[in-house]
Amino acid sequence: MTTSPPPTVSPDQVWWSAPADQREGRPLLVLLHGHGMDEQMGAGVRDRLPPELVLASIRGPLRVRSGYGWFPLDASLRLEQVDEAAHRVVRWVAAQTRHPSVGVLGFSQGSSIGLQAMRLDPDLFAYGVVLSGFAAPLPVAGDAELRRRLPPVFSGRGDADPLVPAPLVALTDQWLADHTTLTRRVYRGLGHDVSPAEIEDLTAFLRAQLPGG
């Protein structure tokens, strides 16, 4: 029997790219990993993203095999669980008050949580990144405000990704086009992964979001 995850993000669930005395005043990028991964995703990409950013990689609340997840991928899934996980992220990010801007980057399942967090609190995030990801299919209260603001979002995926169903890809692409200022890239031959070319495009997008970018 799966126990209920804690209602908030605890300090031991967060990997930081910089010690506490080197974070204040720097733009923050929140990383949300995919199903079966963990917060060490941050350590894996730290040297590939702009050094001006402080990265905070959050571990999902559900234990999954050798890693963690944000919500189950079986018959026990309820769409409310996406909201519950996104609310945890929103509450944690809202407490990070020492940064001039905050972006959110999600890979796979983590991207659905990142987008949901933006939809729950459109004031909180300056931009978003969706890698091999998808949006939850039901409307959210903040959608109208996002449509008005059109925050920058980078979306990258491979055309050989077998894990995200085509109808969900189409729904996500349409939602992003309607609610964000979208930079969309599709990489030929790439599966459910991130390629060097995608990292290069992502880095250019992130640099454009930095103060003065």
> What pLDDT is recorded for position 5?
47
Tokens 């990997």 sit on residue: 15
CATH number of 11-209: 3.40.50.1820
Distance CA 144, CA 158 (A): 29
Counting every residue written for the chain, the total comes to: 213
Instruction: Compute the C-alpha angle 151/157/161, nearest 5°.
Output: 150
Residue 213: predicted pLDDT: 76
pLDDT of amino acid 212: 80
**What is the per-residue pLDDT for 92?**
97
pLDDT on residue 6: 46
Q: How far apart are CA 12 and CA 191, in angstroms?
A: 31
Q: What is the pLDDT of residue 72?
A: 85
- What's the pTM value of the predicted model, to 2 decimals? 0.94
Tens-binned pLDDT, residue by residue, of the chain (213 aa): 444 544 689 999 999 999 999 999 999 999 999 999 999 999 999 999 999 999 999 999 999 888 999 998 876 767 788 899 999 999 999 999 999 999 999 999 999 999 999 999 999 999 999 999 999 988 999 999 999 999 999 999 999 999 999 999 999 999 999 999 999 999 999 999 999 999 999 999 999 999 887
Each domain of the chain, given as residue ranges in start order, spans 11-209
